[in-house]
Amino acid sequence: MGILLWIVFGLIAGSFARLVMPGPIAGGLVVALGVGVGGAVLGGLVGTLVGGSVMGFDFRSFLMAIIGSLAVLFSYRSYAMRAMA
């Protein structure tokens, strides 16, 4: 159930990350949501490693999903910009 929750969190967090970090992204909305899912999973893993249990739907888990999505989206954008140059 945990990984499924992070996928749903990722879709929502990816949308929030696109609102916080607007601008063009190679691949459009589908890639942004995929990056959001990856970031949410990353946020969940980091949150679990730090010592918190982030398996339920609460504010802390959602915040970790958004932070992870922003980190992955920023990294993806940086990589895509370098690849285009």
Alpha carbon 77 to its chain centroid, in Å, reads 13
Domains of the chain, by residue range, sit at: 2-84
Residue type, 66: I
Specify the pLDDT at position 82: 76
User: Which run of H or E residues covers position 10?
Assistant: helix 2-20
Q: What is the pLDDT of residue 2?
A: 67
Q: What is the pLDDT of residues 35-73, one digit of tens each?
A: 878 887 787 788 778 776 655 667 777 788 788 888 888
pLDDT-above-90 percentage for the chain: 0
pLDDT at res. 53: 60
In angstroms, how far is CA 63 from the centroid of its own chain? 10
Q: Are 35 and 69 in contact (CB under 8 A)?
A: yes
**Helix pair 59-84, 2-20: axis angle to 10 deg:** 60
